[in-house]
Amino acid sequence: MNSQGRPSAPAGGETAAPQTFTGNRALMIEEPLLFEIGQTDNCGVDLPEAPQVKDRLGGLKRKATAGLPALSEPEAMRHYVRLSQKNYAIDSGLYPLGSCTMKHNPRLN
C-alpha cells in the first residue's frame, strides 16, 4: 500500500495565472452588475415635470436621486441573455437524469 499518497500541490511551485486582456478565465466570463454597466446620471425615460403638490412626507422626502442604473433596452437585454446562458439547461448540453442510478433495489432497501 502506498503510504505517501499523491502530492496535493505541483512540485514546480506556485505560478500566477497569465493575465488576459479581458480578465476572464477560460469560459468563466465575468458579467458586471447592472450598477457597474449603467450610468446613474442619465435616465432611459423622459418624464414630464411633476406638478407641485403639498408635501405629505414631512422630513422623509428623498434628498438625493435613487441611484438606479440607466441602461438602454438592448443593453439590458444583452445583460440578461448573458446571465441566462450561464444557467445549465437541457438544450445546452448533456442533462443526466439519473434513470440508471435511481432504480429501486429491493435487496439493498
77-97 pLDDT per residue, tens: 999 988 888 777 766 677 666
Contact 40, 70 (CB under 8 A): yes
The predicted pLDDT at position 14 comes to: 59
Instruction: Report d(CA 95, CA 97) in Å as an integer.
Output: 6
pTM for the predicted model, two decimal places = 0.49
Grid cell for residue 106: 429491493
Closest among 39, 19, 22 to 30, alpha carbons compared: 22
Grid cell for residue 77: 437585454
Decide which of 93 and 51 is more confident: 51
